[in-house]
Amino acid sequence: MTAIESDVYYDPYDFEIDADPYPVWKRLRDERPVYYNDRYDFYALSRFEDVERALVDWRTYSSAKGTVLELIKSGMEMPGSIIFEDPPHHDLHRGLLSRVFTPRKMNAIEPKVREFCARCLDPLVGAGGFDFIRDLGAEMPMRTIGMLLGIPEQDQEAIREKIDDGLRLDEGTMPDPETHFDRGQASVFADYIAWRADHPSDDLMTELLRAEYEDTDGTRRRLTHEEVLNYVNLIAAAGNETTTRLIGWAGKVLAEHPDQRRELVEDRSLVTNAIEELLRYEPPSPVQARYVTKDVEHHGQVVPEGSAVLLLNGSGNRDERKFPDPDRFDIHRTIDHHLAFGYGIHFCLGAALARLEGRVALDEVLQRFPTWEVDWDNAVQARTSTVRGWEGLPVVTS
Q: How far apart are CA 11 and CA 174, in angstroms?
A: 9
Confidence at residue 102, expressed as pLDDT on a 0 to 100 scale: 77
Minimal CA–CA distance to 52: which of 339, 369, 385?
Answer: 339
Strands 288-292 and 308-311: antiparallel
pTM (whole model) above 0.85: yes
Q: Which helix (H) or strand (E) segment is 59 a member of?
A: none
Q: How far apart are CA 322 and CA 341, in angstroms?
A: 17
CA 265/CA 284 separation, integer angstroms: 24
Per-residue pLDDT of the chain (398 residues; tens, 9 = 90+): 343 445 899 999 999 999 999 999 999 999 999 999 999 999 999 999 999 999 999 999 999 998 989 989 887 776 556 777 878 778 877 887 777 777 788 888 999 999 999 999 999 999 999 999 999 999 999 999 989 988 888 777 777 777 666 666 766 677 666 555 554 455 678 888 888 889 898 888 898 889 888 887 888 888 888 888 888 888 887 778 889 999 999 999 999 999 999 999 999 999 999 999 999 999 999 999 999 999 999 999 999 999 999 999 999 999 999 999 999 999 999 999 999 999 998 888 889 999 999 999 999 999 999 999 999 999 999 988 788 999 999 999 98
Taking the C-alpha atoms of residue 242 and residue 155, their distance in angstroms, rounded to an integer, is 20
- DSSP-H helix ranges across the chain: 3-6, 15-19, 22-31, 48-56, 69-74, 89-98, 103-108, 110-121, 140-149, 153-167, 177-180, 190-198, 204-210, 225-256, 258-266, 271-281, 313-316, 351-368
Q: Residue 229: which region, alpha, beta or left (left: phi > 0; alpha: psi -120 to 50)?
A: alpha
Report yes or no: 344 and 56 within 8 Å, Cβ to Cβ: yes
The 8-class DSSP code of residue 337 comes to: -
Beta partners for residue 298, in sequence order: 301
Cis omega (within 30 of 0) on the bond before 177? no
Dist CA 104 CA 285 (whole Å): 24
The b-or-e profile of 123-154 (16+ CB within 10 A means b, else e) is ebeeeeebbbbebbbbbbbbbbbbbbbbbeee
Q: What is the largest CA-CA distance in the chain?
A: 66
